């Protein structure tokens, strides 16, 4: 999905200056424990299915919406795996827009849908074994991707 009206109105006022943005991401495992990753159509970087929280949404609602928009899968958020932010979660998009994310990362279960990019933001969707995942855009702790993750939430 393209930029929401809220973020577009904000960008119209401040240009490309850095904004603080609450966001969500999802760890989705298939039946053999592999994790779903998304390669961005914008910059070819790999990440988890993710996106900004919109006004009026809870983080759990946002992760359900974002996963569907990027992957075509319907999910339920089962566990908060961690909250991440700070300088390591800053990004400048190809159009020059700067952002610093605060990411709520959820473990999610698939409850429906068919795996396919919906909104054009994903160039590729692929499952990887936890120990052979691609290099990721964000520096999430490797323990999050373990075959049998602990249920302790991580914070940065």
* Closest C-alpha to 145, from 24, 28, 25, 23: 28
Name the 3-class secondary structure at 5.
helix
pLDDT band for position 152 (cuts 50, 70, 90): low
> What is the rounded CA–CA span in Å between residue 76 and residue 123?
24
Q: Do 62 and 151 touch, CB atoms closer than 8 A?
A: no
1.10.10.10, 3.90.650.10, 3.90.79.10, 3.30.420.40: CATH of 5-131: 3.90.79.10
Query: Where are the chain's structural domains?
Result: 5-131
Q: Quote the longest CA-to-CA distance of the chain.
A: 47
Per cent of the chain over pLDDT 90 is: 76
- 78 half-sphere exposure, CB direction, 13 A CA radius: 11
Q: Has residue 34 got a pLDDT over 60?
A: yes
Q: Is residue 1's pLDDT more than 60?
A: no
Q: pLDDT band at residue 56, thresholds of 50, 70 and 90? A: very high
Distance from C-alpha of 102 to C-alpha of 80, rounded to nearest angstrom:
14
pLDDT band, very low/low/confident/very high, at 143 (cuts 50, 70, 90): confident
């Amino acid at each position: 999905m393209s930029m929401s009206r809220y973020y577009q109105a904000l960008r119209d006022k401040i240009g490309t200056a850095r904004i603080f943005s609450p966001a969500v991401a999802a760890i989705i495992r298939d039946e053999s424990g592999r994790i779903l990753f998304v390669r961005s159509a914008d910059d070819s970087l790999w990440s988890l299915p993710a996106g900004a929280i919109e006004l009026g949404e809870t983080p759990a609602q946002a992760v359900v919406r974002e996963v569907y928009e990027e992957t075509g899968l319907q999910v339920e958020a089962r566990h908060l795996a961690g909250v991440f932010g700070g300088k390591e979660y800053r990004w400048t998009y190809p159009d020059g827009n700067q952002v610093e994310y605060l990411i709520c990362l959820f473990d999610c279960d698939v409850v429906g849908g068919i795996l396919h990019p919906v909104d054009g933001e994903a160039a590729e969707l692929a499952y990887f074994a936890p120990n052979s995942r691609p290099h990721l855009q964000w520096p999430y702790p490797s323990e999050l991707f373990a075959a049998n993750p602990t249920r302790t939430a991580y914070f940065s």
